[in-house]
């Protein structure tokens, strides 16, 4: 090991030690307990912006000050410094969407150790002892809803049904796919032909849809478990001249997806309710601060949007700004 490596390691250790919680606790807690901070998974994404809107509204209504600090990318190395920065200001509570279920455990635990109430929103840590509450979409219900919506759209026609998933081992999308798989079996006219992984690449999603069409010309529905798979599936169906003929069900309701729903590229969207996640997250955080009972796990419901009923459900569209 060279001297430089040793020096670097030493510096890194020193930094870790400094961040280890000693100094903050010693300052005597001069923080602002009437303040709640939201740390989303990534900046400028419609899903998190909508969550922020619900968060701001609810916190202000309850008489709390708000602050939002988002990392530029969905990456734990970018989220960690934000967490430590927020820790220095010592707010009463923090709502966070951890970008990694293990790597974020350390920084988030520092928040807890400094007496800050932590509520997980959207995603969660593997270590369930840190947060007082976890508010996230019930992804399994979302998957089941997708199957029911597909059955409605297909009416009584029968045919094959495909699930386009992202990467094997992604917990949220795997849960959506599982919910779909369980529910679709209840409809005898829908023949479930399994799922395909796409590595979250639109071009792979497009190619797997056309390959499936070649092998199963009776394809009647595709459930794409996230934005990229939905985009790729739409491209594949368009190239095959099957837009509209095959029912495409997407997940989430960002502006471009809503536009595609209106344009008939997608037949249904399973929308999460990020505003409710933000609102309920604040309510739980405030309950914890004021010593009332807190519910440990809360699953928010999802909603199916189709072209016919989309205008009545406009409030479920994700927002670019509040």
Contacts of 104 (CB under 8 A, 6+ apart): 76, 79, 80, 83, 96, 98, 125
Structure token pair of residue 187 = 């409809």
CB of 73 to other proteins, least distance (A): 7
Stretch that binds other proteins, among 39-47, 103-111, 129-137, 147-155 (CB under 8 A): 39-47
CB atoms within 10 A of CB 268: 25
Sole binder of other proteins in the list 178, 240, 303, 306 (CB under 8 A): 240
Among 35, 90, 208, 319, binds other proteins (CB under 8 A): 208
Give the gyration radius of the chain's Cα atoms.
22
Q: Measuring CA to CA, which residue among 287, 307, 308 is closest to residue 298?
A: 287
Q: Is 218 in the site for other proteins (CB under 8 A)?
A: no
Q: Is residue 173 within the footprint of other proteins (CB under 8 A)?
A: no
Examine residue 211 and tell whether it contacts other proteins (CB under 8 A).
yes
Q: Does 194 bind other proteins (CB under 8 A)?
A: yes
Q: Of the candidates 110, 134, 175, 228, which one interacts with other proteins according to CB under 8 A?
A: 228
Contact pattern for other proteins over residues 254 through 283, marking x by CB under 8 A = xxx--x------------------------
- H helices of 90-170, where? 105-113, 139-154
195 near other proteins, rule: CB under 8 A: yes
* Rounded distance between C-alpha atoms, residue 102 and residue 106, angstroms: 8
The reply on whether position 214 binds other proteins by CB under 8 A is yes
Stretch that binds other proteins, among 57-65, 105-113, 139-147, 198-206 (CB under 8 A): 198-206
CA nearest neighbour of 280 among 292, 298, 267: 298
Residues 6 or more apart whose Cβ sits within 8 Å of residue 136? 120, 121, 122, 123, 124, 277, 298, 299, 300
Residue placing its CB nearer to other proteins in the complex, 122 or 283:
122
239 touches other proteins by CB under 8 A: yes
């Amino acid at each position: 090991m060279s001297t430089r490596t040793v020096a670097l390691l030493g510096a890194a250790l020193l930094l870790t030690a400094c961040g280890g919680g000693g100094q903050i606790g010693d300052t005597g807690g001069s923080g602002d307990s009437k303040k709640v901070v939201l740390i989303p998974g990534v900046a400028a994404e419609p899903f998190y912006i909508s969550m922020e809107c619900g968060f701001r509204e609810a916190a202000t209504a309850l008489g709390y000050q708000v602050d939002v600090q988002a990392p530029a990318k969905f990456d734990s190395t970018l989220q960690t410094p934000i967490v430590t920065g927020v820790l220095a200001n010592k707010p009463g509570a923090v709502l966070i969407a951890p970008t990694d279920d293990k790597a974020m455990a350390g920084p988030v635990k520092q928040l807890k150790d400094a007496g800050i109430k932590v509520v997980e929103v959207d995603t969660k840590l593997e270590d369930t002892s840190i947060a007082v509450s976890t508010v996230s979409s019930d992804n399994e219900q979302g998957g089941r809803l997708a199957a029911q919506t597909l059955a409605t759209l297909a009416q009584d026609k029968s045919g094959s049904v495909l699930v386009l998933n992202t990467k094997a081992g992604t917990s949220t999308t795997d849960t959506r796919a599982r919910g779909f798989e369980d529910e679709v079996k209840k409809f005898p006219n829908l023949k479930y032909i399994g799922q395909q992984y796409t590595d979250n690449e639109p071009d792979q999603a497009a190619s797997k849809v056309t390959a499936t069409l070649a092998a199963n010309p009776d394809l009647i529905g595709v459930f794409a478990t996230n934005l990229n798979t939905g985009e790729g599936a739409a491209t594949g169906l368009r190239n095959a001249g099957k837009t509209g003929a095959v029912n495409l069900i997407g997940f989430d309701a960002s502006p471009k997806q809503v536009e595609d729903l209106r344009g008939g590229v997608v037949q249904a969207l399973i929308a999460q309710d990020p505003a409710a996640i933000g609102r309920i997250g604040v309510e739980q955080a405030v309950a914890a601060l004021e010593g009332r009972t807190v519910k440990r796990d809360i699953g928010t419901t999802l909603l199916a949007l189709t072209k016919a009923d989309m205008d009545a459900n406009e409030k479920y569209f994700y927002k670019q700004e509040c």
